[in-house]
Amino acid sequence: MSVETLSGVKATGPNVHGYRSFSLGEFTFSRDEYFVYVKWPTGSHLLSADAFLRALQRDIAWGFFYGIVNFDGVVGTVNHYGTVDLFAGRYNDAYRKAELDHVENFEMSRILETFKAILDDWTNATFDPFASPHETGTAFGPKNGDNRAAITRRRVTAKRMVSVPGDEALRSDANGHPINRQFLDVPQDEPEIRAEPGFEGRLCSFSLFAYLSRSPVTWNPSIVSACKNSLYCPTTEEYILPVIHGNDRVEWFVQLSDEIYWEVEDRDTGAVRAKVVMKAGDVAAMPADIRHQGYSPKRSMLLVWENADPRLPELISSGKLPTNPVDF
């Protein structure tokens, strides 16, 4: 039986495990106690339910992010900033050669509503898709309640810089958030401001380390400063980045603490290109024609520096700008 809900999301009634199935265009999504099943006219695929929900949560929270969000080597989305492609096998050489790949384009609001409905129905009370595996309960088993408080968290976005009057980010992130178990050694003192005469009250500062030490989520960059299109998006990382990100622009990483291993692949075929180990203090520019996934053995702090200029994807894909920012 197909039920059409008010927002246009197509869903069936619960299966024997208690979960609804969803369809979007010619794609269908269903889950059981361990796995998520994705089907399209020329193929099908399954993913572990926990990994699927972690990826889905980020794709929703990031508004489909920059470029491609691969849930794994087969399914994912491409952001065209207004419309979104949902694909299977499109960025996988073997699926392409076997002609099993499939892509459909949707208005952003339509795919977003469907994704939100899936996340809401499939996230049990025990599971927080933003938390590290050590700090959340299980995603598995028959349907067991919901976790709306976790999946509808408001994202912290600074309009200017955190701590500048009028910015809400510090208030919403730091107050009431305990220091994470793995950042108990991070000093909590704030910088002291000694302004020159005439500049009193016009300078602001905050300790980014102290701020990040209280972040309750993992792999979720938050904007802490915006200067025109230059966005500083630091984040705390633990375990595996839940998506394989295929970028449409260059992205800079500054490893602020600890260590992350990056697997870097060709964006379009998935062929392995590099393995990068980033230690505290290391800086890397990820080229615009790769995809990457990070592994953080211990909770670490990473600054993701984004250029939000909307002209970049076209300038890079047309060859007017290079895919790497520096030639050595």
251 near ligand PHB (CB under 6 A): yes
249 near Fe ion (CB under 5 A): no
Question: Residues 318, 87, 74, 101: is their CA dihedral positive or negative?
Answer: negative
70 near ligand PHB (CB under 6 A): no
Please pick, from the candidates 221, 234, 270, 313, the single residue that binds ligand PHB as defined by CB under 6 A: 221
Residue 273 backbone phi and psi in degrees, to 5: -115, -40
Of the two residues 18 and 133, which places its CB atom closer to ligand PHB in the complex?
Answer: 133
Q: With b meaning 16 or more CB within 10 Å and e meaning fewer, what string describes 144-163?
A: eebbeebbebeebebeebbb
Tokens 């361990």 sit on residue:
34
* Residue 235 interacts with, from ligand PHB, Fe ion, none (CB under 5-8 Å by kind): ligand PHB
242 near ligand PHB (CB under 6 A): no
User: Minimum CB separation from ligand PHB for residue 218, in Å?
Assistant: 7
- Closest residue to ligand PHB, judged by C-beta, is 245
User: What whole-number distance in Å separates Cα of residue 310 and Cα of residue 139?
Assistant: 36
245 near Fe ion (CB under 5 A): yes
232 near ligand PHB (CB under 6 A): no
User: What whole-number distance in Å separates Cα of residue 320 and Cα of residue 314?
Assistant: 8
Q: DSSP of 58-121, one letter per residue?
A: HHHHTTT-SSEEESSSSEEEEE-SSEEEEEESTT-HHHHHTT--EEEEEEHHHHHHHHHHHHHH
304 near ligand PHB (CB under 6 A): yes
241 near ligand PHB (CB under 6 A): yes
Q: Which stretch binds ligand PHB (CB under 6 A): 8-16, 234-242, 263-271, 311-319?
A: 234-242
219 near ligand PHB (CB under 6 A): yes
Q: What number of chain residues touch ligand PHB (CB under 6 A)?
A: 9
Which positions touch ligand PHB (CB under 6 A)? 219, 221, 235, 237, 241, 245, 251, 302, 304
